Structure 1
Amino acid sequence: MNTIVPRLLITWSAGLLLAGCGPTDRNEPANAAVVSEPAPAVPQLVRPDGTYPTRPLEKDTVVVKVIQNGVTNLQEAESIEQGLEKNLEHMISFIDRACSEGMKPDFLLFNEFPLTGYSTGTRDEKLKFTIEIPGPETDRLGEFAKSCDTYIIFGSYAKDKEWPGHILSINTVIGRDGNVARKFWKSRNIKRLTPDGEIPTTTIESVREKYRARYGIEEEFPVLQTEYGNIAVSTVQLDPFVFAAFAMRGVEIMFRTATLFSPVDVRATAFHHNFYSAMSNITFPPGSEAEKFGGG
């Protein structure tokens, strides 16, 4: 699907509470000296006047091509290596087609798991079905991003040496130069829909304090400033406040990767938060129950 996205100036008026007050000891003498520690510096997350950082636009109209395809789950492949290679070649075939047919794309958007597929099991069991970012797969995709002069966006199960033992759900943006431009962690999982179970992937919500200490609070809702506008990528579904935070941070185009869920959520989120949006879903066979969730 080709989507032509004209840039729209989006102005947000928002404030940010940077400091609060805690309860005082009512038994403390009125003349007691109070010594307080200086408050730590907090980065400015939202400008008071509603503006946000941008880069000059290279052009006024951009082309987004959304690629929805089926995937071989690594859990079901003859071997992990064979499954990864098959899925990678499948992605490359779609990139070739998208770059040779119709308008030249500025962004190619894949689904949540085009390389690994969806796996089940415990954390230890699922750790085998992950990739490293950057790694051999992103290097290969980077060659095609560079030759096509386009951004390539996709999600994946991933592992990171800085987070041993964790399965991360990462959305990767590969730039026109072929390098990884940014990695977006998943903000949170949908827990309220599975009250008797837990998704074993680690999200920002899972390790928020450690995440902020390592990367900074401003990286909780990061924005990638590109020559085509401010973008972000998310796998979160049915969670409007996450997207409200991204919008206040200056996102103009919100890319979303998915496994099922509803197209209505994408349209409603874009409408309420005044940004452009596109979602790519994993496809399922015709007549599947998954079709009603956008996976047809």
Structure 2
Amino acid sequence: MAITSWRATCIQMKSLVASDATSREEATAIIEANLANAIGKIELACASPTPPRLVVLPEFVFQGPPRATPVSAWIERACAPIPGPITERLAEVAVRLGIYIAGNHFEVDAQWPDRYFNSSLLLDPKGEVILRYRRINTASWTSPHDILSQYRAAYGEDGIFPVVDTELGRLAIFPCGEVLVPELSRVLMMRGAEVLLHPSNEPANRRSDAAKICRAAENMCYLISANVAGGIGFSSNGAERGGHSQIVDYNGDFIAFDDGEDESVATSAMIDVEALQAARRDTGMGNGLLRSRFEMYRGYYGAAEFYPPDGLAEKSIETAADLSPVHERAIANLIRAGVLRTDRKS
């Protein structure tokens, strides 16, 4: 069955930071304020003459980042399960407006109660969580890769690299700096993804914009990237600014772009999955997927051992400093592989 073209809108909004709170009650009030702002912006987008079928919210949008908050304190103050109280509020909006809502928040899982995950999610118009991805490439908190054996046993590959088939097409999601990891988008494309949803909380700059163009073009996917407005979450003084929410098509062209940093729902465009599929079937020079020779690179990836898997399998972390032994092993692996040189002075 053909997929009718549909509209996506980025919700570029500010986010209050719950790590400034000293109690669960204070953190909850901050989260509620962020939720209210998000819901208001979603309603504004849907009240426009060109309402979206899907909206994307920024990364950290409800809790902000933990910054230097110890893991146990962050879990107690600000984290929530999925489904849980945050997604329940969003589910009400999704059902009422008949839309898909993509977002991100810090999640706790009863299987690992002393850890939290940076989780990106998608709700459908029935209010159900149909997609959840937990950030893999991170050096700040637990990744599925840090407990890979346990995680794979619990969730399998579908839980590590999830793609969901919907009436809008096949959708995948990942946050922020993972757009700089080409392998992630590549694997999601290999699993069928046609549209990449990208909640972000990053400084707006040419590197980030270029990465988004590349991920969309090299995988022949749409990429819908919603960034935070104003100061980014990890900038304690607000000096690093967000903005640049954007939608990139499968040719790597901007079809919507916000060159400012203010709150806005103006970044909106039509998504034509049928045109994407036609481009993937084309045998001309514009079809990069057709000419991709993955067998040539398989041996290199198979032999690569850089950041160690299961590095936190035995013990969770409480602060970022607890990751030092894992990082030292990663550096040693890079030296062993010849990527880092020890015979040159920096």
TM normalised by structure 2 equals: 0.63
* Structure-1 residue corresponding to 2:93: 144
Q: Does 1:234 align with 2:174?
A: yes
1:80-229 matches, cutoff 5 A: 80-121=27-68, 122-127=70-75, 128-189=77-138, 198-199=139-140, 201-229=141-169
- 2:67 aligns to what SS in structure 1? coil
Select 1:273's aligned residue among 202, 219, 222: 219
Q: Residues 239 and 285 of structure 1: is their aligned pair in 2 closer, same or farther, counting only changes over 3 Å?
A: closer
Between the aligned partners of 1:181 and 1:108, the Cα distance in structure 2 is 15
Between the aligned partners of 2:106 and 2:16, the Cα distance in structure 1 is 14
Instruction: Return 5+ residue gaps in structure 1 as ranges.
Output: 1-55, 190-197
Between the aligned partners of 1:73 and 1:66, the Cα distance in structure 2 is 20
Select 1:70's aligned residue among 3, 11, 14: 14
* Structure-1 residue corresponding to 2:202: 260
**Cα distance, 1:104 vs structure 2:** 2.1
**Cα distance, 1:115 vs structure 2:** 0.9
**Cα distance, 1:292 vs structure 2:** 7.4
AA partner of residue 150 (structure 2): K
AA partner of residue 111 (structure 2): E
Between the aligned partners of 1:289 and 1:271, the Cα distance in structure 2 is 31
Q: Which has the larger radius of gyration?
A: 1
Deviations 1:23-63 (A, max 9, x none): xxxxxxxxxxxxxxxxxxxxxxxxxxxxxxxxx44x42010
TM normalised by structure 1 equals: 0.73
Between the aligned partners of 2:242 and 2:43, the Cα distance in structure 1 is 29
* Structure-1 residue corresponding to 2:322: none
AA partner of residue 257 (structure 1): P
2:12 touches 2:243 (CA, 8 Å); kept in 1? no
Q: Residues 166 and 113 of structure 1: is their aligned pair in 2 closer, same or farther, counting only changes over 3 Å?
A: same
Structure with higher helix content: 2
1:120 touches 1:126 (CA, 8 Å); kept in 2? no
Between the aligned partners of 1:129 and 1:272, the Cα distance in structure 2 is 37
Deviations 1:217-250 (A, max 9, x none): 3332111100110000001231001111111110
Instruction: Return 5+ residue gaps in structure 2 as ranges.
Output: 233-237, 246-260, 262-346
| Percentage identity across paired residues of the two chains | 23
* Structure-2 residue corresponding to 1:290: 240
Once superposed, what is the RMSD of the aligned Cα atoms? 2.1
2:131 touches 2:162 (CA, 8 Å); kept in 1? no
1:188 touches 1:204 (CA, 8 Å); kept in 2? no
Deviations 1:177-220 (A, max 9, x none): 1121221111221xxxxxxxx40x22222121111111113332
Deviations 1:232-288 (A, max 9, x none): 0001231001111111110000011111151221111101111110111111259x6
AA partner of residue 70 (structure 1): K
AA partner of residue 72 (structure 1): L
Aligned residues: 231
- 2:170 aligns to what SS in structure 1? strand
* Structure-2 residue corresponding to 1:23: none
Between the aligned partners of 1:105 and 1:208, the Cα distance in structure 2 is 37
AA partner of residue 73 (structure 2): E
